């Protein structure tokens, strides 16, 4: 969701700003812009569409200004037109800024500012902030002997006090061409510390190759950056000492490594991502899992009598898998909540309930808000996420990192399987504190250790999936059907197809098909059945018979050498036979590949599907 970059130093700013925005393209955007401030004053360039359009425009007359900021916008207010692209100007041109987030009271503020004579040129909520800071400059103290940055910092503070909502802001001033101010609340910003130069970005990836010294700004913090140094302030408590972290950023430089798309690369990275999720976390001696970041005492661990898993989209599907896993292995009641609903509900949560927020980015606004709300009420909150230093990692009482590596493709793949793997280990972890036997714990560990191999074997179905995709790429509707562990997998498969191919698809428990969805079955609507051998195998076969009787085409995801499935299905994609609790992680692989190849055949932008953002930082 949107991208911010900023630079102040001794070199020309534009090369870093453009490269930084390129590294943030994966977040999703519909327009882009850059502002610089030099001897000629403020210069702003904005374009709609891909970043190459902005690069072409800047190439006509590049500026050598040594301070600037850039932005890629994902529309929340106003259509994707140049007038709504960032950066936005405030007052008579004395302020220019870029903004991530949503200002909830922008209508009221806009009315007040318009009445005061401010002229609005866009339909965005962000322009309101620019004008508000310009108004703050009029009110700021310019007492003799004051810090030269003080009037500008005071103006920003005053403006922030009027805002209700979320923001990550980068601000330049026409009359201070050596000052960049950043402010954060609910939308991530990181400061990169160099030698005589300082960087700003909405995540760490643009800083790779420039510096490995990072400051993660927290909510209510502001940073002032000049070529001679930087300071960090709390909005209300004054100047604070920032914690500068050393971070290995080279791995954040995106590379396709021979693959045509990041999504395909990340699908094929899943065996290694799963290994990384398990590395150092399986304990043979006690037949359990080890997590160093949960921050729970043994007494607290044993007293847990209920778990709430909350997330959005793919993370919510992983949470559904986690519900099955934890209840089966640990016998602890688990509830799964949409984070977007939990944040506004007031459910009864007992003292011994754990709340896990599940999110790849660690910035998902609804999940972050749900975790913060439950924490505010005094409940223990934990996070499962992939991004070190993310907002949810800072907000939660503890948690678990996936260590899946950077995920560039908007449609999540390796994060889903890594989430499921971590949740399986959590089931083992809690189970061994209760009734799960030592022998069962050992068997679970043995199965988990074989999981990367099984996922690697599942990837060998790609040529078969490609042929199936060729046959059904023109369909306008798909049904995805599974039972038990494979019901959430069906939901995830349908979501992947919707996200990147724009085909309508729905996932259901296979038995629920008879209660309505069967009305959709016809010869033009393929049904994808997840039918690996297990407890409900015969039941799913019966559901397949019902679809076959109504002329519906059947694509079956099944184990090797299954003549019953082969006799019934129109197309069969084989995956390894694995223990039922690991079936979602293996069975989802052909569904990911099916979505990818269907989208490719249809000419869709696989890595950057329309209307979607990688990190959803707004409601």
CA distances from 168 to 4, 71, 328, 389, 619 (A): 8, 11, 42, 16, 15
- Catalytic residue list contains 604: no
d(CA 494, CA 477): 10
Q: Are strands 41-48 and 31-38 parallel, antiparallel or unpaired?
A: antiparallel
3-class DSSP assignment, residue 31:
strand
Helices (H), 331-413: 339-342, 365-376, 391-395
Residue-by-residue DSSP string for 42-72: EEEEEEESSHHHHHHHHHHS----SEEEEEE
Q: What is the spatial distance between Cα 558 and Cα 17, in angstroms, rounded to a whole number?
A: 49
Which of 414, 496, 498, 614 is catalytic? The answer is 614
Q: How far is residue 533's CA from residue 579's CA, in Å, rounded to a whole number?
A: 9
How many Cα atoms occupy the beta-carbon half-sphere of 516 within 13 Å? Answer: 5
The answer to whether 2 is a known catalytic residue is yes
E strands, 62-203, where? Answer: 67-73, 88-90, 95-100, 167-173, 176-185, 190-193, 198-201
For 139, the enclosing helix (H) or strand (E) is: helix 126-139
Distance CA 429, CA 326 (A): 9
Catalytic residue among 2, 312, 372, 461: 2
C-alpha span between 139 and 590 (Å, rounded): 61
Dump strand ranges (E) for 202-270.
Answer: 213-216, 221-226, 229-234, 238-240, 245-246
CA atoms within 13 A on the CB side of 347: 16
d(CA 336, CA 594): 27
What positions carry a catalytic annotation?
Answer: 2, 614
């Amino acid at each position: 969701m949107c991208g911010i970059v900023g630079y102040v130093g001794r070199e020309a700013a534009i090369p870093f700003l453009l490269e930084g925005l390129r590294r943030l393209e994966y977040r999703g955007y519909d327009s882009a812009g850059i502002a610089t401030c030099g001897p000629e004053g403020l210069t702003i360039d904005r374009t709609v569409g891909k970043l190459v359009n902005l690069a072409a425009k800047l190439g006509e007359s590049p500026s050598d200004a040594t301070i600037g900021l850039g932005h890629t916008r994902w529309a929340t207010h106003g259509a994707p037109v140049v007038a709504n692209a960032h950066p936005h100007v405030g007052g008579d041109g004395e302020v220019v800024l870029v903004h991530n987030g949503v200002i909830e009271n922008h209508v009221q503020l806009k009315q007040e500012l318009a009445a005061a004579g401010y002229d609005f040129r866009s339909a965005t909520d962000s322009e309101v902030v620019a004008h508000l800071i310009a108004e703050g400059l009029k009110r700021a103290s310019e007492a003799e002997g004051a810090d030269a940055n003080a009037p500008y910092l005071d103006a920003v503070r005053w403006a922030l006090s009027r805002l209700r909502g979320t923001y990550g802001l980068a601000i330049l001033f026409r009359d201070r061409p050596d000052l960049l101010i950043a402010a954060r609340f609910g939308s991530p910003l990181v400061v990169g510390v160099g030698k005589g130069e300082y960087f700003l970005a909405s995540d760490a990836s643009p800083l790779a190759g420039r510096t490995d010294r990072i400051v993660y700004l927290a909510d209510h913090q502001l940073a002032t950056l000049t070529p001679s140094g930087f300071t960090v302030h709390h909005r209300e408590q004054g100047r604070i000492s920032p914690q500068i972290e050393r971070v290995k950023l080279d791995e954040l430089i995106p590379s396709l490594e021979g693959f045509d798309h990041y999504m395909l690369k990340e699908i094929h990275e899943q065996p290694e991502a799963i290994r990384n999720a398990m590395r150092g976390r399986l304990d043979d001696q006690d037949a359990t899992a080890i997590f160093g970041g949960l921050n729970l005492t043994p007494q607290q661990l044993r007293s847990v009598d209920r778990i709430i898993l909350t997330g959005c989209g793919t993370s919510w599907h992983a949470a559904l898998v986690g519900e099955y896993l934890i209840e089966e292995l640990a016998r602890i009641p688990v509830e799964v909540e949409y984070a977007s609903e939990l944040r506004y509900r007031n459910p009864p949560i007992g003292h011994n309930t754990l709340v896990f927020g599940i999110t790849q980015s660690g910035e998902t606004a609804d999940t972050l808000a749900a975790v913060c709300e439950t924490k505010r009420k005094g409940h223990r909150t934990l996070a499962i996420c992939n991004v070190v230093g993310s907002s949810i990692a800072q907000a939660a009482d503890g948690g678990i990192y996936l260590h899946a590596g950077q995920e560039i493709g908007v449609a999540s793949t390796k994060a889903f399987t890594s989430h499921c793997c971590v949740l399986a280990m959590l089931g083992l972890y809690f189970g061994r504190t209760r009734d799960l036997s030592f022998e069962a714990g050992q068997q679970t560990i043995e199965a988990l250790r074989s999981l990367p191999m099984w996922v690697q074997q599942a990837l060998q179905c790609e040529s078969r999936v490609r042929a199936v995709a060729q046959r059904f790429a023109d369909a306008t509707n798909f049904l995805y059907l599974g039972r038990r562990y494979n019901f959430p997998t069906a939901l995830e498969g349908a979501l992947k197809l919707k996200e990147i191919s724009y085909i309508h698809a729905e996932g259901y428990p296979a038995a629920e098909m008879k209660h309505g969805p069967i009305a959709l079955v016809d010869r033009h609507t393929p049904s994808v059945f997840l039918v690996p051998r297990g407890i409900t195998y015969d039941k799913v076969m019966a559901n397949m018979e019902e679809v076959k009787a109504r002329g519906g085409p059947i694509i079956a995801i099944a184990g090797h050498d299954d003549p019953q499935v082969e006799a019934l299905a129109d197309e069969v994609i084989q995956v390894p036979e694995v223990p039922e609790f690991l079936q979602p992680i293996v069975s989802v692989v052909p569904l990911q590949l099916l979505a990818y190849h269907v989208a490719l055949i249809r000419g869709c932008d696989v890595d950057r599907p329309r209307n979607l953002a990688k990190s959803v930082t707004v409601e």
